[in-house]
Amino acid sequence: MQLNHTIVSSRDPQASAAFLTGILGLPPATRSGKFTVVEADNEVFLDFAKAGGDIAAQHYAFLADDDDFDAALGRIKAQGVAYWADPGRTQPGTIRDCDGGRGVYFEDPDGHLLEILTEPYGSLD
């Protein structure tokens, strides 16, 4: 069993998808019906859909190798995007060291909490 796709609510699907692909260094989003689709490297799709009302913030975590993490963090900093070492956003401007890797949290334009990490949680257990 594998996750194939998830729907991401957005005020502006094209802008939100472009933000994500720009930070993560992924290919540009494509259109599929009413969705703006971002494909992650592991063939999981994030289907951005226009929200019809309030957006409930969700959390999306992306596993990256060290080079991709460094490149994404560089783009976060270059764009002036706020970032934190923790999901509670109490450690601004820092990254997390744990499980033998690094991690960082930041928000997309719709308030979804995005995470990039270099090692899965529990990998040192």
Percent of the chain scored above 90 by pLDDT? Answer: 92
Average pLDDT over residues 2-6: 96
DSSP structural state of residue 11? S
Q: What per-residue confidence (pLDDT) applies to 121? A: 80
Rounded Cα distance, 71 and 34, in Å: 31
Domains in the chain, ordered, with CATH? 5-117 (3.10.180.10)
pLDDT at 99: 82
Can you tell me the distance from the alpha carbon of 89 to that of 38, in angstroms, rounded to the nearest whole number? 26
Helix (H) or strand (E) holding 70: helix 66-78
Q: Give me Rg for the CA atoms of the chain.
A: 14
Query: Chain-centre distance of CA 83, in angstroms?
Result: 12
pLDDT for res 124: 60
Q: How confident is the model at residue 123 (pLDDT cuts 50, 70, 90)?
A: low
Distance CA 45, CA 61 (A): 13
Q: What is the pTM of this model?
A: 0.94
pLDDT digits (tens, 9 = 90+) for 94-112: 999 988 899 999 999 999 9
